[in-house]
Amino acid sequence: MTSKELKVALIQDRDQGSVEANLARIEAVVHEAAEAGARLILLQELHNGPYFCQGQDTDRFDLAEPIPGPSSERLGRLAAETGTVIVASLFERRAAGLYHNTAVVLDDDGRLAGLYRKMHIPDDPGFNEKFYFTPGDTGFEPIDTAVGRLGVLVCWDQWYPEAARLMALAGAELLLYPTAIGWSADDDAEEQARQLDAWRTVQRGHAVANALPVLVTNRVGHEAHPAQPGEGIDFWGHSFIAGPQGEILAEADTGEAIVSASLDLARSESVRRIWPFFRDRRIDAYGDLSRRFRR
């Protein structure tokens, strides 16, 4: 079987203090990754600023922008300059009172290849996303690019095997998750270890169950709660690239990093030949998956 090699890179970073500083930093590290051979580059969730969903503040809606808009157009120019496909993450203003957490895919010629609006929206302590984001309506449709069909999902989506499976069934060649996840001050060392292990394990499981590479980029650094002194989130980083059997090909720690690996996209078919999960799915018996609960 002919190999189909693709070098990919993840950008793991901390908030630089302003939209301009963050985008300037992204431009610098994307150039660095491209010069090292990367053709697909994944940025972290909501990379233009701090993770603003720790509290509820209507002024934060001023951060949103249209797509196409200033950030997507600037990142499109960056994609064209570097000859890379860039997967970015923006706070989208679709209309007054209608906002989304949206991943955008810029092809290597700079055009907007497509977008994905986050489908699963969390509402947990420190993660008040339902206040800001309308659930997505784009469905689970891969986006065609110069480097292949990308199954782009966002953060909280990574806990749902249904989302990964639907992207795989629609022909995705990779699964990508821009992410913002971390620990609160109340989490002791044992709880931190459990959370990190669960997060890594569930996404490796998506790779195994679908025989697809998985790319995950998380942010890093402590971000203080805007209204509660002493509180905040420590984003745990650990961005990683897994192969189609869940094997870790590259992983960061908790600092800024460019994480890269070479993937053979043709290997997914080889894995599916020995582990034919799609063949053995009992699609005649899965109707209850469309129910909220069975009792």
Catalytic (active-site) positions? 45, 118, 155
Identify the CA nearest to 283 among candidates 121, 124, 166, 205: 166
Q: How many Cα atoms occupy the beta-carbon half-sphere of 11 within 13 Å? A: 29
**Dihedrals φ, ψ of 193, to 5°?**
-65, -40
Whether the CB-CB separation of 85 and 59 falls below 8 Å is answered with: no
Q: How far apart are CA 168 and CA 247, in angstroms?
A: 18
Q: Closest by alpha carbon to 39, among 67, 79, 71?
A: 79
DSSP β-bridge partners for residue 217: 178
Structure tokens given for 67: 């797509």
**β-strand partners of 261:** 8
Neighbours of 283 (CB within 10 A): 7
Whole-angstrom distance, CA of residue 115 vs CA of residue 141:
10
User: Which of left, alpha, beta for 230 (phi over 0: left; psi -120 to 50: alpha)?
Assistant: left
3-state secondary structure of 16: coil
